[in-house]
Amino acid sequence: MVIKMNVIETISKRHSYRGTYKPDKVPREDLKKIMQAGLDAPSGCNKQTTSLICVDDSDTLKEIHAVINPPIAESAPAMICVLTKRINAYRDKCFAIQDYSAAIENMLLAIVELGYQSCWFEGHITDDDRICDKIAKILNVPEEYDLVCVLPVGIAENEPLLPRKKEFSERAWFNSFMSKE
């Protein structure tokens, strides 16, 4: 079921979903829209350091899930793997982290707008056990790229649990820190 909403509404409705997914396949057209949203994200000095691999083949998904311990999103019918290529840009600074973060957020918003759910899994796979390297090997990712994140994509089996957010006045101000304006 596709639910259309405006961008502000989409932002407020986007929350990490760690539950189970319905077995319904995600149409390739929707996956392309999600990936294009990621590729449309801003990129420092237009270096376009972010690349994506979408996995919707059930055998490849099983192979990937076999190396993810503890397990995550095992029932998701698709997974977008986010790659980065660390390229220096302005004044020998690399903006790869900012680039892929912007791409991930764009994709998370597109996922929700299209009626699906997801969760940004980064630390879990890039930690000391380097699950990211195992996934990269399965996907034939060249050495000059780092696999930095996976985004499961699918229809949520249950409604996402919404975390309590701090009040606006606890985290945002006008004209100076903690102003009472």
In the chain, where are the structural domains located?
18-157
Digit-coded pLDDT (tens) for 86-115: 888 888 888 889 999 999 999 999 999 999
Whether this model's pTM surpasses 0.75: yes
User: What pLDDT sits at residue 39?
Assistant: 97
Q: Cα–Cα distance between 177 and 44 in angstroms, integer?
A: 28
Q: Cα–Cα distance between 168 and 170 in angstroms, integer?
A: 5
Digit-coded pLDDT (tens) for 56-82: 999 999 999 999 999 999 999 999 999
Digit-coded pLDDT (tens) for 112-165: 999 999 999 998 888 888 999 999 999 999 999 999 999 999 999 998 777 888
User: Which CATH class for the 18-157 domain?
Assistant: alpha beta
Is pLDDT at 1 greater than 70 in this prediction? no
Q: Cα–Cα distance between 144 and 49 in angstroms, integer?
A: 11
